[in-house]
Amino acid sequence: MKNSLINQSATEKNSKWNNMIKRENELYSRGNDIRSEFERDYTRIIHSLAFRRMKHKTQVFFSPSNDHICTRMEHIILVESISNTIAEYLGLNAKLTKAIAMSHDIGHSPFGHQGEKILSEISREDIGKTFWHEKNGLEMVDKIILLEDDKQHLQNLNLTYAVKDGIISHCGEIDENSLKPREEYIDLYDYNFPNQFNPYTWEGCTVKIADKIAYLGRDIQDAITIGILDKHLKELRDIMNLSENDAINNTIIINNLVYDLCENSNENVGFKFSNKSFEFIKNLKDFNYKYIYKDERLQPSTEYFEIILKTIYNTLKKYYKNKEHIKKLYPEIIKDFEKWLKLYWNHDRYSDCENKVIFNIEKEQDFYQAIIYYISGMTDNYAIDTYNKIISF
């Protein structure tokens, strides 16, 4: 109901407030800033290069030439819109939901979840840990993404705990019809797998649910656009309780689910859908997995992504022990990689770097981790271009 969560909002009255706004280091001040802590996080995120690259990263369907297929950036905007509607209606801190929503997928690799699986396979083999975009998102905002401060020095993003928690806690797979924030203030690097803990804030929970609402309907819309659901539209209409003449419309799905969630949620039961809507979500999710995410049409692109990412990784990996030879073979690729690496390693750094040193160049596993971070930040097109330079003469 309207304002049913206002007493749980991320404000100074909340007992978790001091933990929510904690930063690893004090953020510099110009003395005339009118923004809140969460608004500063929001603007730091949208001014970053990593955020801008989201417009050229795959959501589900790799389609660089079709302007009407959802990209990672459009998905982020949908999540922000949905979570803002929910937060405003229920009385939560919409500034915090905005900051979490706009950064929640910052750790995604090129080529969507298929690219994520490929990088995870590489990571397990060479450094003994899985790669998953929620954890990578935390590491990106903590260690990799840099902004220039008022003294022209490069600094880490240094986001608040509440926003970083929202990033690593946003996994959209919700299999129980009740979601409340956890009470414990934990070290976010204690996360070992996606969805291990609930978000720390109600605003983080809002983004977690908005993520699911956003992708379910939009993925169907894109699948219809490219024609892979032609044989399954009757089954989809049955799930959505639509007649043959009714439109299958993503905005209707969003509106109905947001309304249902807002009417059934409160601080006692948590975020909750009606039984009818929750069953609808499960059926829609099953439909998507059966006919979209596992469709044979996606297999060729998956094989293509694997060739691209593994070729880039293995080429840069060889550079560790054969620097001069690999640099001679791929001068432009190595120049770009070295330029990036010098921002973070413990040797010959740029003079304007005041960010964390995170790689010891003497350690081989640090070098492999650096390559994975580097590749994860690439757009689809940059990865393809890098691959083409490797195979060209």
Please, are residues 260 and 281 in contact by the beta-carbon 8 Å criterion? no
Alpha carbons 263 and 274: distance in angstroms, whole number: 9
Distances (CA, A) of 241 to 95, 229, 283: 36, 17, 12
Alpha carbons 107 and 131: distance in angstroms, whole number: 10
Q: What is the pLDDT of residue 29?
A: 78
Q: What is the pLDDT of residue 393?
A: 87
Alpha carbons 155 and 93: distance in angstroms, whole number: 27
Whose structure tokens read 């940059």? Answer: 382
Tell me the pTM.
Answer: 0.96
Sign of the Cα torsion 138, 139, 144, 146 reads: positive
Domains of the chain (ranges; CATH) run 6-106+145-294 (1.10.3210.10), 298-391 (no CATH)
- Count of CB atoms situated within 10 Å of the CB of 277: 18
Please, are residues 123 and 372 in contact by the beta-carbon 8 Å criterion? yes
Alpha carbons 65 and 83: distance in angstroms, whole number: 29
Q: What is the pLDDT of residue 119?
A: 98
Nearest residue to 167 via CA among 100, 109, 112: 100
H helix runs in the chain, sequence order: 17-20, 37-46, 49-52, 72-90, 94-103, 112-127, 133-139, 161-168, 202-226, 233-240, 250-264, 275-288, 299-319, 323-329, 331-341, 364-376, 380-391
Q: What is the pLDDT along the chain (393 residues), one digit of tens a residue?
A: 899 999 999 999 999 999 999 999 988 877 788 899 999 999 999 999 999 999 999 999 987 678 888 999 999 999 999 999 999 999 999 999 999 999 999 999 999 999 999 999 999 999 999 999 999 999 999 999 999 988 889 999 999 999 999 999 998 666 668 899 999 999 999 999 999 999 999 999 999 999 999 998 899 999 999 899 999 999 999 999 988 888 888 888 999 999 999 999 999 999 999 999 999 999 999 999 999 999 898 889 999 999 999 999 999 999 999 999 999 999 999 999 999 999 999 988 898 999 999 999 889 999 999 999 999 999 999 999 999 999 998
Please, are residues 104 and 98 in contact by the beta-carbon 8 Å criterion? no
